[in-house]
Amino acid sequence: RSYKIPYLENLAATNDQFECVDLTDNDITRLEELPRLARLETLLLANNKISAVEPDFAELCPKLTSLILTNNRLSRLEDIDLLGSGCPTLIRLSLIGNLVCNLPNYRLYTIAKIPSLKVLDF
């Protein structure tokens, strides 16, 4: 937390040992270059500068249940598609403070694309 990390790198060095990774309050701009994190269940990325999601993000985190992207720069509904496709375990998602939240039918679209969600935006 709060190390002003500009991008994700070297997460493979964790040897997939963690169920929760907190990268809140950094300068990360893209969800990309992730290694396969089979044990990861919670990913906290609030207060970064994330504006894009890697196409195979969900496949790299197959057990992800909580994804917190509060106060980032996601602006397209297509990013929600990438978050939801291939991640049937995602239960909690927060996108509060992103431009995508201001789009018409954002909540309905997100619920339709990620049917496993139980909690959206807290």
What would the pLDDT profile of 9-35 be if each residue is shown by its tens digit?
Answer: 767 777 788 999 999 999 999 887 788
Q: Cα angle at 65 between 4 and 80, to 5 degrees?
A: 70
Please identify which residue in the block is written with the tokens 């375990």.
89
Q: How far is CA 48 from the centre of its chain?
A: 11
Q: Are 9 and 29 in contact (CB under 8 A)?
A: no
Closest CA to 68 of 103, 88, 41: 41
pTM: 0.90
Residue 37 has pLDDT above 80, yes or no: yes
Q: Mean of the per-residue pLDDT values for the chain? A: 89
Express each pLDDT in 55-71 by its tens digit: 888 888 889 999 999 99
- pLDDT score recorded for residue 7: 76
- Of the two residues 20 and 5, the one the predictor is more confident about is 20
